[in-house]
Structure 1
Amino acid sequence: MPPACRWGILGTANIARKNWKGIRLSGNGVVAAVASRTPERARQFIAECQSEVPFEQVPTPVGYDELLASTDVDAVYVPLPTGVRKEWVLKAAAAGKHVLCEKPCGADAAEVKAMVDACRAAGVQFMDGVMFMHSARLPLLRKVLDDADAVGELRRVTSQFSFAADAGFLGGNIRVSGALEPLGALGDLGWYNLRFALWVMKFQLPEAVVGRVLNEYATDGRPVPLEFAGELFFPGGVTGSFYCSFRTELQQWAHVSGTKGAVTVEDFVLPYHGAESAFVVQRPHFRVRGTSFQMESHPTRYAAAEASDGREDAQETNMARRFGELVLGGKPDASWPEMALKTQLVLDACLKSARDGGRAVGITG
């Protein structure tokens, strides 16, 4: 039997259920242990996940420190709240555990740099949990963007990621807690907007950004963004914009504009349910013939064959498999922590701009 990456899940957040399944389907990983603040909660989480997607050997319920001390765990997935994440990532690195970290990785870039540096010093892998980075759609999209005849020279990248939270969400969800999730919608949703823009730009940082908090909310005296908009100014004249919100109905679209055409991705974060992930290249023509003024649509649809979720080829499974390969291969890939740190740097600058009345804030890597 081939070797497997032995995972520990550090926390029982709901998103961990999806990654439990991704690990199970990866073909190179097993969940060895699950940690929670109480043994009862860890046992309940394990029982519920095992009933749907079972491992041959039932994972062990443990406490946080016990999980990190375990010799049966190679890597930890950390879905703990952002406000306490740094402490446990640093402890995991000190214990020699590879770290898959939920996003936003930290409250600010200083925290993320500390995590990245600790993992580098310990010789372990650090990666953030952005699943779409592992979709089969991205290589196809990159090929189209690099095709000079498809989109032409890049000019603009825009995106929106939002959902309309109900009163119950605002009353009790940790994503509006200033202590636990100080970045609010900007951290929870805007991380994806910024990651997509940076990916399109091949991780070239913007020279400057402008941000606006359009709406905020406080449950504990520390307001967090509920709705945020930002502008990105890249070298060479390429610009970007993004909008993220807990106040607008579910949307997750991205648009890339060039001198010859444009690309629209309707579901850049979570592929719509089905067996493929797609995007459309539009190269419209405007024709004038006497009194006739015609705008013609000339779309080309591209699709990558992959399950939207919960299958061996879904993006969350690909993420678990890729991380497992890095762990088993023994050679950490420095590009993943670099992507996470750059995303946090841009996010920080956007929030700094917003807190300073929308003043443009420069970025240096």
Structure 2
Amino acid sequence: MTKSICRWGFLGAAQIARKNWKAVRMSGNSVVAAVASRDIERAESFIHDCSMECPPVIFNSDEEATLTRPVALGSYEELLQSDDVDAVYIALPTALRKKWVIAAAEAGKHVICEKPVAVHGDDADEMIQACRDAGVGFMDGVMFDHSARLPEMRHSMQDEHRFGKLRRIQTHFSFCADDSFQQSNIRANAELEPHGCLGDLGWYCIRMSLWANQFQMPIAVSGRSTATLDEGKVPSEFQGELRFENDVTAGFFCSFLCASQQNATLTGDRGYIAMDDFVLPFVDAEVKWQVQTHDLQIDNCRWNFGRHSTSHAVKEHASGEVDSQEVRMIRNFATDVLQNSHHIAPGSVHAADIALKTQRVLDALRRSDIEFGNWVSLDA
């Protein structure tokens, strides 16, 4: 008998897991079955708080919803050995992910893993191979991969008259951390999150650059950490450049020290596409982008730079609704689990391969930083 509900276990009670708790609830094909933390009281508190805002339900064969309560566990091992869990969402710090992804695979659990997926690419490769050997799916938790905006925006990029040939990708993702960030946030801890802002924010910039260029790998990258947090020298600002073999270039900047920005600009030889919320959409019932085809007209003494902008949108709530990107991510992955196919992906590239490509680019950028920004080559 084919299952109709994917039963999720959460490893870790991180803040982002609360968003995915609601995504599971809104997905229509999933339920949170268990939450594990090293401190069982923290797991209990997480379940209590999330349930107060978004009570978990399970659907029966008649599509009737019944309230349920996930089990709180004080051991990750106990969750992975549970027969009541089909897939796990791993929100543990980067330095701990390899161990628990491999353990989850060996226990026959499908995996969504927070990003960056690993400390370095060889670890990521080992994690993904463990999932493939066990016949379980693997995906990193990049929510915008699953937005309805990207396929429609791809159509805008294919407009030869208004966009033309892709030439440049530029992204910026930043927020200004408060005074307590360095003392209390794990993203400032070099042992747990060694990539700092590059792993936390730059991962999205790298991913958008890969998406825009059809997931081709860059042939070389250059990167510099322009500021660090004192504790362990975690990068707090990072700028990077990517060079592709089709003459496309990409640049990005990410920071824990600048005002909140989430800008992406994709430039062609005829026009460009702009978004100012490419990671977390602004609160709305639509997600939007603009196609710009400004032109400069010169006639003797008259110089006119003409504005030509077209706004586009798709119906999709920013967060917490059945059509929002994080809910699509959970629903898509759960559908894959329930159908036993393990090939869910944003586009035609396997989700695990996309995660590994992103990790390899990140690794090369870290190597470049160590070499004072020298260009580092990547294998095609």
TM above 0.5, yes or no, is yes
Spell out the pairing of 1:57-206 with structure 2 (5 A cutoff): 57-62=68-73, 63-206=75-218
1:6-53 deviation digits (Å, cap 9, x = unpaired): 000000000000000000000000000000001111111001111110
1:264 positional shift:
0.5
* Contact 1:176/1:184, CA 8 A, preserved across alignment: yes
Helix, strand or coil for the counterpart of 1:216? strand
- 1:227 is aligned to 237
Aligned position for 2:370: 355
The CA deviation string for residues 173-220 of structure 1, in whole angstroms up to 9 with x for no partner, is 10010100000000000000000000001110000000011001232x
Is 1:297 aligned to residue 312 of structure 2? no
Please name the residue that 2:59 is paired with: none
Q: 2:18–2:50: 8 Å Cα contact kept in structure 1?
A: yes
Aligned to 2:49: 48
Q: Deviations over 1:97-141 (max 9, x none)?
A: 000000000011011101100000000000000000011100111
Instruction: Normalising by structure 1, report the TM-score.
Output: 0.98
- Whole-Å Cα distance in 2 between the matches of residues 131 and 240 of structure 1? 21
- The answer as to 2:14 corresponding to 1:17 is no
CA distance in 2, matches of 1:146, 1:117: 35
**Alignment partners' CA distance in 2, 1:67 and 1:197:** 36
Question: Partners in 2 of 1:28 and 1:183 — Cα distance?
Answer: 34
What count of residue pairs does the alignment treat as equivalent?
A: 363
CA displacement at 1:289 relative to structure 2: 2.2
Note the 1:252-331 alignment, pairs <5 A.
252-331=262-341
Offset of residue 223 of structure 1? 1.5
What CA distance in whole angstroms lies between the structure 2 residues aligned with 1:313 and 1:121? 33
Q: What secondary structure does 2:246 align onto?
A: helix
The Cα shift of 1:150 comes to: 2.3
Aligned-pair identity (%) = 48
CA distance in 2, matches of 1:216, 1:321: 38
Greater than 2 Å deviation, 4+ residue runs: none
CA gap of 1:2–1:92, structure 2 versus 1, over 3 A, is: closer
Q: After TM superposition, give the deviation of residue 280 of structure 1 in Å.
A: 0.4
The CA distance in 2 between the partners of 1:357 and 1:266, in whole Å, is 30
- Does the Cα contact within 8 Å between 1:37 and 1:64 map onto a contact in 2? yes
Aligned counterpart for 2:355 among listed residues 322, 332, 340: 340
Offset of residue 76 of structure 1: 0.1
Q: Which amino acid aligns with 2:359?
A: Q
Quote the residue 2:63 is aligned against.
none
For residues 160 and 340 of structure 2, what CA distance do their matches in structure 1 show?
Answer: 38
Aligned counterpart, 1:210: 222
The answer to whether the 8 Å contact 2:3/2:338 transfers is no
Task: Please give the alpha-carbon distance, in whole angstroms, between the structure 2 residues aligned to 1:38 and 1:358.
Answer: 42
Q: Aligned partners of 2:338 and 2:148: how far apart in 1?
A: 22
SS at match of 1:237: coil
Q: Could you tell me how far apart the structure 2 residues matched to 1:83 and 1:45 are?
A: 22
Q: Secondary structure at the match of 2:310?
A: strand
Inter-partner Cα distance in structure 2 for 1:125 and 1:356: 36
Contact 1:177 1:218 in 2 (8 A): no
Letter in 2 for 1:57: T
In structure 2, what is the equivalent of residue 32 of structure 1?
Answer: 33
CA contact (8 A) 1:23 1:320 kept: yes
Q: Structure 2: which amino acid aligns with 1:61?
A: A
Change beyond 3 A, Cα 1:84–1:218: farther
> How many Å apart are 1:2 and its aligned residue?
6.8
Structure 2 CA distance, aligned partners of 1:72 and 1:172? 34
TM-score, reference length from structure 2: 0.94
